[in-house]
């Protein structure tokens, strides 16, 4: 078929068309046959090409399917590996999480037990504290009463000691004052007796002198009045001392009364404080 196609080329065909009339029909028939064979060859070529294209397409499809299968297998294998890795990772995480959950549950249970025990201890402590407070309140009342009795007894003892001390001090000061006044009275009495005795002696001597020596000396008239003046001066001195002594006695009495009032005020204030403190 290839040789026939090479014998009837386009120049030969154009030469055949320009041939004489006698061979025109044969040539035309031959051309038609050649065209028919050419069309048949072209049809065969097209058919073969179609078959080749179909075969190529089938091969391409097969290759594509093979490649796709390989790619799918590779992807599937990779996905399988990734899935396994993810599953392993998730399993490990789940295992860890499970262990953590179990540990957490154990700790929660332990803490719950501890909380229950702590609540129970708190309740017991609250009850014990309530009982302890009641006991302490009773002890406080008893102790307060006991302390009040002790303090009242101590206060009474201190009060009695203070009163005895103050009374003793007052008596001692009064005795000293009385002794001092008694000494002054005795001194003044002794001086008065001594002055009176001296005055008697002086008066007697003056009288004798006036009687015996009246005519002898006129100046003797003034001896007795002078002695009388001395007696009056001595008497006025005694009166002044007695007045001073009386004033001293009055001052001592006033001082003693004031001291007594101070002592009474102190004792009253002390008794008021004790009554306010201990009822």
**pTM (2 decimals)?**
0.28
Q: CB neighbours of 279 closer than 8 A, spacing ≥ 6?
A: 148
Q: Read off the pLDDT band of 220 (50, 70, 90).
A: very low
Better pLDDT: 175 or 4: 175
List, for residues 49-99, the tens digit of each pLDDT value.
888 888 888 888 888 888 888 888 888 888 888 888 888 888 888 888 888
Average the pLDDT over 176-185 and give the result: 73
**Residues in Cβ contact with 191 at an 8 Å cutoff, skipping those fewer than 6 apart:** 238, 241
């Amino acid at each position: 078929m290839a040789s026939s196609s090479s014998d009837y080329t386009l120049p030969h065909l154009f030469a055949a068309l320009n041939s004489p009339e006698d061979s025109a029909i044969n040539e035309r028939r031959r051309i038609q046959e050649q065209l028919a064979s050419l069309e048949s060859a072209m049809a065969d070529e097209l058919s073969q090409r179609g078959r080749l294209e179909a075969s190529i397409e089938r091969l391409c499809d097969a290759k594509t399917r093979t490649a796709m299968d390989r790619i799918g297998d590779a992807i599937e294998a990779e996905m399988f590996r990734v899935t396994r890795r993810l599953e392993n990772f998730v399993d490990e995480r789940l295992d860890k999480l499970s262990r953590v959950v179990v540990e957490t549950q154990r700790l929660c249970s332990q803490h719950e037990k501890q909380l229950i025990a702590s609540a129970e201890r708190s309740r017991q402590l609250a009850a014990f504290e309530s009982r302890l407070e009641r006991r302490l309140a009773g002890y406080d009342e008893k102790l307060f009463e006991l302390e009040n009795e002790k303090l009242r007894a101590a206060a009474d003892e201190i009060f009695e000691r203070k009163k005895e001390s103050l009374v003793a001090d007052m008596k001692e000061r009064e005795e000293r004052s009385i002794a001092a006044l008694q000494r002054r009275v005795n001194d003044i009495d002794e001086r008065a007796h001594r002055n009176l005795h001296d005055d008697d002696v002086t008066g007697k001597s003056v009288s004798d002198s006036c009687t015996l020596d009246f005519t002898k000396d006129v100046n003797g008239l003034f001896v007795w009045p002078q002695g009388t003046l001395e007696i009056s001066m001595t008497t006025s001195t005694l009166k002044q001392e007695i007045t001073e002594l009386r004033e001293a006695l009055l001052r001592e009495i006033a001082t003693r009364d004031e001291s007594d009032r101070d002592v009474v005020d102190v004792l009253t204030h002390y008794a008021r404080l004790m009554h306010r403190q201990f009822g």
